[in-house]
Amino acid sequence: MRKFWNIADTPVYALLTRNASGHWNYNCCTYVSAVGMHPKHYLVAVYYGTKSLENLQSNPNQSAILHLLSPRQASLIRVLGRQSGHLVDKFGKLLRGGHLGSWRGYPILKEAAAWAELRSLGPLHTEPAFTANASGPTDHDLWLWELVSTKLNSEEYLDTGTMRSLGILR
């Protein structure tokens, strides 16, 4: 039986960030939520120890692209989420595979269902409630973003249920 936290299928995203030197990285994200309407704000949980979190910490005021992945991109999860940006040049690998295009000057995953340009408002880790709990520190850092622009390509998107049915998630 599924657990409370994974009963509802959630969209699967990829976050494009860059470090202070301008090198790009992509990271798979499923803990993403709209948290404001006017202006539109999003909260993205970024896993500790990832290249994406390192990029955000070294370049906290950046703009980034949040990709809503399409079902056709399920196979990219091996690169986006199962390989470390510390060990693999995800940008180079995706470029060589023909998966990248350009939108608003960013190297985007061209088959994504949608793209959102976000402006970082910074981490929420300064509050003790976000950095520790009874069982120790959380496993994600929470970043707040303001929506700048979007582009919808398709209303069909990849979700955790599809990933489960493909054997990508348990």
Task: Provide DSSP, 46-92.
Answer: EETT-HHHHHHHHSTT-EEEEEE--GGGGGGHHHHTTS-TTTS-HHH
Evaluate if residue 27 carries a pLDDT over 90. yes
Strands 32-37 and 106-109: unpaired
Place of tokens 């999860």: 77
Strands 114-123 and 32-37: unpaired
Evaluate if residue 127 carries a pLDDT over 70. no
Q: pLDDT tier at 6 (50, 70, 90 boundaries)?
A: confident
Q: pLDDT tier at 135 (50, 70, 90 boundaries)?
A: low
pLDDT of residue 9: 93
- Residue 126 structural domain: 9-72+82-153
Position 35 in a domain: yes
Position 133 in a domain: yes
Q: pLDDT tier at 24 (50, 70, 90 boundaries)?
A: very high
When the pLDDT of each residue in the chain is averaged and rounded to a whole number, the result is 91
Q: pLDDT tier at 7 (50, 70, 90 boundaries)?
A: confident
Tally the domains of the chain.
1
Evaluate if residue 66 carries a pLDDT over 90. yes
Evaluate if residue 37 carries a pLDDT over 80. yes
Give the global pTM. Answer: 0.91
Position 2 in a domain: no
Place of tokens 């990248």: 100
Position 77 in a domain: no
Contact 68, 154 (CB under 8 A): no
CATH number for the domain including 24? 2.30.110.10
Evaluate if residue 134 carries a pLDDT over 70. no
pLDDT of residue 123: 92
pLDDT of residue 76: 97
Position 170 in a domain: no
Contact 142, 32 (CB under 8 A): no
Residue-wise pLDDT for 94-124, tens only, equals: 999 999 999 999 999 999 999 999 999 999 8
More confident residue, 5 or 36: 36
Q: pLDDT tier at 151 (50, 70, 90 boundaries)?
A: very high
Position 159 in a domain: no
Q: Residue 141's closest CA among 36, 79, 54, 12?
A: 54
Dump strand ranges (E) for the chain.
Answer: 13-18, 24-29, 32-37, 40-47, 63-68, 100-103, 106-109, 114-123, 140-152
